[in-house]
Amino acid sequence: MITSIPNASEMCPKTLKNLNLGNNRIWYLNTTSLKHGCPSVENLTLSGNYLRKLNFTSIPENVKSLQLHSTKLCQELPVLCRNKQPILRFLSHLDLSHNAFTSIDILRQEGDCLPSLQTLILDSNAYLIRIDTQVFSNLVLLRNLSLRQMNPLTKIDGNAFVSKTLESLQLEITESKVIKNHPGSYHFFQNCSGLTRLSVKNLNLKAFNENELNLLFLPLVNLEELELIDCGLTQIGFVGKFPELRRLNLHKNYISYWDANIFIHKRNFEHIDFSRNHIAMLKKSDFPDKIWRKTPSIDLHGNPFDCTYGLCGFRHWVSDNYNKLKGYPEQYFCESPDNLKGIQLYSWSPTDEECRKPEKQNNGSVLMEAGIIVGSVVVVACIIGVVIYRKRWNIKHYIYLMRSRKGYESLPDGEAYIYDAFVAYHYTDRPWIVSHLLPYLESQKKLRLCLHERDFIPGNFIADNILNNIESSRKVIVVLSNNFARSEWCQFEATTAYRRVVSDGVSSVVLILLEEISARNVNSVLGNLLQTMTYIDWTNKDAGRALFWSRLDDSLK
């Protein structure tokens, strides 16, 4: 292990092309030792040393690849020019990852002194907190840029990636306020339209609506590979804007549904990854037939599958194409219904009857049931009770229409809310939220909901997350079930919602009843809510569902 290079000519034959001095304890390079002792070197590795500071004038002029990761370099990048002339004119690959640079602004000022640079790696620079405008614009041949594990990064300028030549960009950050609300955030990629590969991880996009996402990705018409991992996505309509796309990775987002038309005009995919999202149901029509037939690799593991009729088409496809499905069968499980929760999808073999979509109730069957029971006064009384029960939605509908003439009280316009509604629910009711509430309110009605699994800020106290997000929401939707009634945190949400009723009126909170609540589960707060407000019943009957959505629409106005 060496600490310095006193006489490089002794270890460098005149024709030496590759020199690896990595993982030593070199702390200083003088200006002549390597440059004059090893003039023919083209690939130089100095990674894993203790340089802290470096002058590029000490590097052989013919170097094409320079590895400087983990060398404890700090503050600003080395000067790139000498007398306005390039110091390393042939350098095409530069790895500066795992160092402690605080600024890379010299790339904007002297980037033209790296006229051959094609690959630049800046991963894991622990003190680099911002990337300013046009910082890469003078790197005239830049093809590949890597900015992974940029955890302290708090700002990227909207014009940071101005480059006519950039083809591959890797970006991984964790700070949620990096680009949203910045003046140029919707045009983040407009000046690097030549990108063919984009890999983004942990860039928080959940605050972007569908139109804003389309604006953000619109310039990238040449994309062939797209990775958007753990970005909070719920809508993916923008994927249809990339005609050349071959590989799509949307791992660990909040996707539960999409329009199959976004895939219609695509070439043959090589890989599709929708793993660890919120996909409960998957029909054959969700992808065009050529996607199912010709895509050699599909990854859907870790989704909360609802093993009912809505998943039958996918289950039958798996039987003949399991070799295409990554992680199958080990990582594919049923999340619902309750009697199938936790079993492997492989073990679920639905019958034709189970795969038949429930049909509307036939009025004739009601009359037939009534005719069979008729016979005595007691039986007649039972029939009347049955008829009233089966017609309860029509009765409720009539009462609802009479009462709705007054209308729901709307909250005053103009107030600054982040969300249209905060949804309080128990985690065991997530399949219903994902399968029914989200598709209707977010996809069809374009409302922005706050869900604890998706929108709470990691690291904050749960109570703070609940209070802050309810205050930031125009309405509160409480999804009542017996599991909700027994949960302490759900009780806290219910108490906060009741306070909202007291302060803002009953129109500020919407109650949804998923099932009959046992009396032993009703505490004083839930009792007050149920007595103070009119709740909306969920049902599996089609007539009842129409009324349910109508009442929910009115209550959210």
**Is 535 within 8 Å of 510 (Cβ atoms)?**
no
What is the pLDDT, as a whole number, of residue 414? 45
What is the pLDDT, as a whole number, of residue 415? 54
What is the pLDDT, as a whole number, of residue 410? 40
**Is 12 within 8 Å of 19 (Cβ atoms)?**
yes
Which residue bears the tokens 């060398």?
71
Question: Which residues on adjacent β-strands are paired with residue 85?
Answer: 82
Residue ranges of the domains in the chain?
256-357, 419-556
Please give the helix or strand (H or E) that residue 379 lies within, else none: helix 377-390
What is the pLDDT, as a whole number, of residue 204? 81
Count the residues in the chain: 557
- Report d(CA 441, CA 556) in Å as an integer: 10
Q: What is the pairing mode between strands 144-147 and 85-86? A: unpaired
Domain 256-357: give its CATH superfamily. Answer: Ribonuclease Inhibitor (3.80.10.10)
What is the pLDDT, as a whole number, of residue 402? 42
Structure tokens given for 507: 């129109």
Q: What is the pairing mode between strands 85-86 and 81-82? A: antiparallel
Per-residue pLDDT of the chain (557 residues; tens, 9 = 90+): 677 776 666 667 878 899 999 998 888 877 677 888 888 999 999 999 988 888 898 899 999 999 999 998 887 888 999 988 999 999 999 999 999 898 999 999 999 999 999 999 999 988 888 888 999 999 999 999 999 988 777 778 888 899 999 999 999 986 544 454 444 466 788 889 999 999 999 888 887 888 888 888 989 999 999 999 999 999 999 999 898 999 999 999 999 989 888 888 777 899 999 999 999 999 888 888 888 889 999 999 999 999 998 899 899 999 889 899 999 999 999 999 999 999 999 999 999 888 887 654 444 444 455 456 655 666 667 666 665 655 443 444 334 334 333 333 344 444 568 899 999 999 889 889 988 899 889 888 889 999 988 888 887 888 888 888 998 899 999 999 999 998 888 888 988 888 888 888 888 999 999 988 888 888 888 888 888 788 898 887 777 788 888 889 988 88
Question: Furthest-apart CA pair in the chain: how many Å?
Answer: 114
CATH class of 419-556: alpha beta
Structure tokens given for 347: 């073990």
Could you tell me which of 111, 118, 115 has the C-alpha nearest to residue 144?
A: 118
Q: What is the DSSP string of 418-448?
A: SEEEEEE--GGGHHHIIIIIHIIIIIIS---
Q: 24 CB contacts (<8 Å, ≥6 apart)?
A: 1, 2, 3, 48, 49
What distances in angstroms separate CA 308 from CA 274, 311, 354, 435, one per listed residue? Answer: 20, 6, 7, 12
What is the pLDDT, as a whole number, of residue 502? 84
What is the pLDDT, as a whole number, of residue 110? 93
Which residue bears the tokens 């987002």?
253
**Is 340 within 8 Å of 307 (Cβ atoms)?**
yes
Q: Give start and end residues of each alpha helix (H) in 288-376.
A: 289-294, 312-321, 363-373
